[in-house]
Structure 1
């Protein structure tokens, strides 16, 4: 255990671990080794956890084979798959400090300064969002938890407006874009709402929620005696990076008296970007999700949910005599557990704090802007390439496209695109994602690394086209 007598051992062990990781990071010439699950599972299963190695060097050697060797390295410029970012170095300093001190952010008497740092960052983020002086919030484990808490608050507020005994839960509805995050449906189920509680609102050609369609759905709910408890707008959809028209949606919610939640897990980096205007309208939201571990380049986990009116956080407040007695609140003791779904909670805010204090918000915003610039260049490249079809021009840094030369059937193209992604991953040379658009399989780049160049993207496109062409040639040969 860490203590005065083991402080030197702690320093040596952490230094040894950091050296290993630094060597791996410096030497990585590709984002992935391409190892298969079955092969790696055999190596992990062979470890006898009841027989310790008794030596840190031996344990690190073993970890090289079980983890570091085959880890997917998001810092590599040809990792282009998901919303995983390379991390800001000051945040890694924060991670080391918070893990060693091991504060728990549930009560003041376990965290002291950590509580105030987290509260200051919530205040800072709320200010960037423009939520107003009554805003508040709390750090969470990620966007899924943030969305769940926001919808819990919306549910309680909606139920408070429905006459008691009216059987309100089956009548509650959540309206969200058809391209919104799956966690909205998951949250509805966890909150005891029916399977049909989430209504998908149609989108336009750019995959953004259509305000006219939202207005019709709100009216349909009213005519059917249903209660819209929340509208979820997305500022950065996972597949397309789309930003729903927030001002128009906010106006419709205000007229209907419906809670507006903005899922800005992806797009929150715009808060420190020269493109801040893309989030105009977010200031009218009742709640907002932000994921600093996406576009603020923070290590997982580092997220928050913010609310316009801090008083609504009472819906997650429970008092326990052994932890946060009611008298503590009366005495003004700042216990963060009064605002959170979690009890024991890491001091993840420290990572963002040190990032802002060392390199500053403008630098973080510049990194995100560089990613968005690269995505715009990549769209130009793809749009001009006859081998590919690109679905929409990116608003953020996601590109969905498909290898689609003329003359092949949709089914053959589906197989070719899936094969290209799998073959690329197996080689380890790059990692891309796949998704389905209008029933057809597509490829996806999610750019979050400022070091990714247009040359990286062009080379990956060539490799993908080669793999797809190989399979498509076999298919066409068999068909003939």
Structure 2
């Protein structure tokens, strides 16, 4: 019996011809799935969605396959119909960005070519492209540094862990000092790295206060790394970076800034000043899958001096033998703690070239303006309360006089109905609804609809 030929591959000169009809199937399924969903989230809650997925999938590993067309059509449709779609203006819960179409197209090319960024002979052009683009982005963070650099990461969690690891390797040990507003990944990174539990400085007003930080640093000894935040997850505030940098200098502590959220303000001539003091940090976390509109993952860790990356050096004979490195083959293992990793820099490179600093800055400015407008609408709504004027693109609000359990119930009702996706945050001792605005296509009418839905659900729960 003659065996069937193996399925076609994505690469090589035949690859595009094999991909073309499959992409048509994917795009049609994405469209049909979004139309079926009809909103930012599928209705029915977790069990309803899981039940539909079980029904459509059936046997996850059938004895005989159904063919590429059927598999793509069914499962992409099912995924799209059951997705939380960040491209829907009413999907505004998290730092979950709607990616730019051009970045997604670039990501397809990266998947088709499948370079592996752990040795030059697996990624010749990709490794050169990564070196050039990371150098350019590092220079944005450290415009006056002689030898800045940046590593590509999977996001803020990995970047923050790398920052603590590099500090530990410089000093033998280090203790992190963080605000209560800091990202959870810093405490987790300390645990993973065997470091002391971070010292947590209270942040009653949402931001790290210099007076409280000064008191904490005065009482501590040993190598210290202060981790400030430029864009907190809950409220989007930026710690006072210049004052914190001054205190680090005075107490002999190093400074790391988690700018995973707020870092792309560097592209905006209007809002860049909010990051004054950022360049005084020894390391900086950035995420371009937030205010950079990249498909995940698109994280970076920037360092003021590339020499700080030396502790990451690592040799595996089959990937970066000494004689190959001496002969001029770039050594990539010291660019990450991961071995196999995707060329995530391609989508970012395409975006930077297509839009430039001005184009990206305009997108940032648009979302910043949306947050101010939503805050205006909340303040003009007698039945709603605003937590504070937004710093970035996060707006906290709640029904006036509602109990915390009622606020939580409003959010869950909207989720179960598939009408809107809002986050939750605790601030000032109370629970708030959180709108994180990252969609530059959101209109004033969309923002008004968010508030209308909240008011309607809260009103119906009162009856």
TM-score w.r.t. the length of structure 1 is 0.89
Distance 2:214 2:223 in 1: 12
User: In the alignment, which residue of structure 2 is the partner of 1:291?
Assistant: 287
User: In the alignment, which residue of structure 1 is the partner of 2:5?
Assistant: none
Cα 1:32–1:52 shift into 2, 3 Å: farther
Deviates more, 1:149-158 or 1:436-445: 436-445
User: In the alignment, which residue of structure 2 is the partner of 1:229?
Assistant: 224
User: In the alignment, which residue of structure 2 is the partner of 1:151?
Assistant: 164
Q: Which structure 2 residues correspond to residues 373-452 of structure 1 after superposition, within 5 A?
A: 373-405=369-401, 413-452=403-442
CA contact (8 A) 2:30 2:77 kept: no
SS at match of 1:445: strand
Q: Which structure 2 residues correspond to residues 83-162 of structure 1 after superposition, within 5 A?
A: 83-130=95-142, 132-159=145-172
Is the counterpart of residue 215 in structure 1 residue 227 in structure 2?
A: no
User: In the alignment, which residue of structure 2 is the partner of 1:258?
Assistant: 253
Cα 1:41–1:181 shift into 2, 3 Å: same
Q: Which runs of 5+ in 2 are unaligned?
A: 1-7
Distance 1:211 1:365 in 2: 30
Cα 1:248–1:39 shift into 2, 3 Å: same
Deviates more, 1:436-445 or 1:301-310: 436-445
2:47 counterpart (13, 38, 52): 38
TM-score w.r.t. the length of structure 2 is 0.92
CA drift of 1:123 comes to 1.1
CA drift of 1:129 comes to 1.1
Cα 1:28–1:248 shift into 2, 3 Å: same
CA drift of 1:315 comes to 1.4
Q: Deviations over 1:114-141 (max 9, x none)?
A: 1111111111111111251211121011
SS at match of 2:320: coil
Cα 1:191–1:380 shift into 2, 3 Å: same
User: In the alignment, which residue of structure 1 is the partner of 2:75?
Assistant: 63
Query: What RMSD over aligned residues (CA atoms) do the two structures have, in Å?
Result: 2.0
1:185 counterpart (167, 184, 187): 187
CA contact (8 A) 1:221 1:228 kept: no
CA contact (8 A) 2:424 2:434 kept: yes
CA drift of 1:439 comes to 3.9
CA contact (8 A) 1:218 1:228 kept: no
Q: How many residues align?
A: 449
Is the counterpart of residue 199 in structure 1 residue 212 in structure 2?
A: no
CA drift of 1:290 comes to 0.6
Distance 1:238 1:325 in 2: 42
